[in-house]
């Protein structure tokens, strides 16, 4: 563990410079959804890496460019950092205490759109690299960055980009774009993400809405067609009724169960936070609730639209009906296979008229909790956070980790500067400078230990 004292000293004494660099990056808007500033931000990120001796390529995709950067180090091991330079829209602007693209430092926190998600993660890692270069003259291992510009808009081109650039992206391990501490200040290691298959189901039974006195007994009703179709997808027992849906799904392992059992029981917190009286399938809490939350496929009606919903009554037969439905996927379900199963099921049930529009998806992926790289990230966190990093084998949300795990064959570990009040995607997004520094110190330890 060479020069860690010097590295730490550098990180502390040059923190202001790193925060200034982050502020410059945040002041460059890069709102993917509004296609605002994407090329400019990619260029700025490229310059930041080039200044540190990285070979940088700004690589086009079908959407926002990917910034790829590489710098050789002492050992022949390669660490890949995945980050993104795009941010969520800042609206509603009136709810920000200071303008979202004018970073503002107060009470040990930096406020601005993207400070946490994900620009702060990027500059904290660059800060680590500066400190190591200052203390050591070279990096302990090869370092690559893949920084995409479409993370907040479902990473639509990332899978193809990774498949087409496997050689370039070859590495031994990957640090994910986010991470952080929970409400107890305990650092968390998230080892897997569920997949997703998001669809819109729609029916059109006539070219215009019809008087219900005329059409009620002789015309098909779009709202009924849709609700009948939806009712075939899942039963009151919560089991998804699409044939083949559960084929090839591996149940949680004994190790998953052990890791989940080590987590606090959230049953009471869920009840008070969300006002639910109980849980599905007779679950009451504990490890069974925790496992069911993330290791089971879901079929969620996210929204339903049809006919008249205004005040009073309107006797009308709707011509159109639609529903947004998301299916969360577990290993080894894929959106492609699920779409095919859904189509076959609807046809078989007599609903060929229900149109499926695929709105996006990705398969689930997870990293082995006992991978040696995970051990390095977890063990090296303890000294920094003065608390053991907790391992969560799987979380319920989704993200583009599948091509990293399955196409590049990498263990993917999370580490970062997030905390519960970071307000990512919301007004007054902020980071705590103490956690920024901790993340940079943590990354230095990971890089040295990984290189040994």
Residues that bind Zn ion (CB under 5 A): 117
Closest approach of Cβ 432 to Zn ion, in Å?
18
- Chain residue at closest Cβ approach to Zn ion: 117
Q: How far apart are CA 161 and CA 82, in angstroms?
A: 13
Nearer to Zn ion, 130 or 152 (CB): 152
- Which helix (H) or strand (E) is 437 found in, with range? helix 433-451
Helix (H, G, I), strand (E, B) or coil at 243: coil
Nearer to Zn ion, 71 or 113 (CB): 113
Q: What angle in degrees, to the nearest 10, is found between the helix axes of 433-451 and 372-385?
A: 140
Residues 6+ apart with CB under 8 A from 164: none
Closest approach of Cβ 88 to Zn ion, in Å?
6
Helix (H, G, I), strand (E, B) or coil at 406: helix
Nearer to Zn ion, 112 or 297 (CB): 112
Helix/strand/coil (H, E, C) string of 97-113?
Answer: CCCCCCCEEECCEEECC
Nearer to Zn ion, 53 or 420 (CB): 420
Phi, psi of 238 (to 5 degrees): 75, 5
Nearer to Zn ion, 146 or 210 (CB): 146
DSSP string, 171-230: -SEEE-S--EE-TTS-EEEE-EE-EEEEEEEEEE-SSS-EEHHHHTTTS--HHHHHHHHH
Nearer to Zn ion, 156 or 356 (CB): 156
Closest approach of Cβ 148 to Zn ion, in Å?
12
Closest approach of Cβ 151 to Zn ion, in Å?
6
Helix (H, G, I), strand (E, B) or coil at 364: coil
Nearer to Zn ion, 145 or 245 (CB): 145
Closest approach of Cβ 44 to Zn ion, in Å?
19
Nearer to Zn ion, 125 or 441 (CB): 125
Tell me which residue of 374, 365, 331 sits closest to 188, measured CA to CA.
374
Closest approach of Cβ 81 to Zn ion, in Å?
16
Cα 300 to chain centroid, rounded: 19
Closest approach of Cβ 95 to Zn ion, in Å?
18
Phi, psi of 401 (to 5 degrees): -80, -15
Q: How far apart are CA 150 and CA 362, in angstroms?
A: 14
Closest approach of Cβ 33 to Zn ion, in Å?
11
């Amino acid at each position: 563990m060479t020069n860690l004292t010097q590295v730490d000293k550098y990180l502390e004494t040059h923190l202001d410079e790193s925060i200034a660099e982050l502020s410059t990056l945040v002041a460059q808007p890069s709102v993917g959804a509004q296609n605002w500033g994407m090329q400019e931000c990619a260029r700025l990120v490229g310059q930041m890496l080039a200044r540190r001796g990285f070979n940088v390529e700004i690589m086009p995709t079908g959407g926002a460019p990917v910034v790829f950067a590489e710098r050789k180090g002492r050992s022949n091991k390669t660490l890949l950092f995945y980050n993104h330079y795009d941010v969520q829209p800042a609206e509603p602007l009136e709810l920000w205490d200071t303008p979202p693209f004018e970073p503002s430092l107060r009470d040990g926190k930096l406020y601005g759109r993207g400070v946490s998600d994900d620009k702060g993660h990027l500059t904290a890692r660059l800060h680590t690299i500066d400190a190591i270069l200052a203390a050591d003259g070279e990096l302990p291992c090869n370092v690559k960055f893949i920084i995409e510009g479409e993370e907040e808009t479902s990473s639509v081109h990332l899978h193809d980009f990774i498949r087409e650039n496997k050689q370039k992206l070859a590495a031994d391990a990957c640090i994910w774009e986010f991470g952080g501490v929970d409400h107890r200040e305990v650092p968390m290691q998230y080892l897997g993400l569920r997949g997703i298959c998001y669809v819109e189901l729609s029916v059109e039974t006539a070219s215009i809405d019809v008087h219900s006195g005329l059409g009620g007994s002789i015309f098909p009703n779009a709202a009924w067609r849709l609700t009948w179709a939806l009712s075939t997808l899942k039963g009151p027992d919560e089991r998804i009724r699409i044939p083949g849906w559960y084929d090839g799904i591996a149940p949680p392992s004994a190790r998953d169960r052990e890791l989940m059992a080590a987590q606090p029981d959230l049953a009471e917190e869920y009840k008070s936070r969300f006002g639910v009286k109980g849980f599905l399938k007779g679950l009451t809490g504990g490890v069974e609730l925790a496992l069911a939350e993330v290791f089971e496929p879901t079929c969620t009606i996210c929204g339903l639209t049809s006919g008249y919903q205004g005040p009073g009554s309107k006797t009308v037969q709707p011509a159109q009906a639609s529903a947004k439905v998301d299916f969360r996927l577990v290993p080894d379900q894929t959106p492609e296979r699920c779409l095919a199963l859904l189509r076959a099921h609807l046809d078989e049930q007599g609903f060929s008229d229900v149109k499926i529009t695929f709105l996006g998806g990705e398969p689930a992926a997870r990293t082995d909790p006992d991978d040696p790289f995970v051990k390095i990230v977890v063990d090296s966190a303890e000294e920094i956070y003065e608390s053991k990093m907790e391992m969560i084998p799987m979380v319920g949300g989704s993200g583009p980790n599948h091509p990293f795990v399955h196409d590049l064959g990498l263990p993917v570990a999370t580490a970062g500067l997030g905390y519960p009040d970071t307000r990512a995607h919301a007004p007054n997004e902020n980071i705590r400078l103490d956690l920024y520094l901790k993340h940079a110190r943590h990354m230095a330890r990971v890089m040295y230990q990984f290189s040994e």
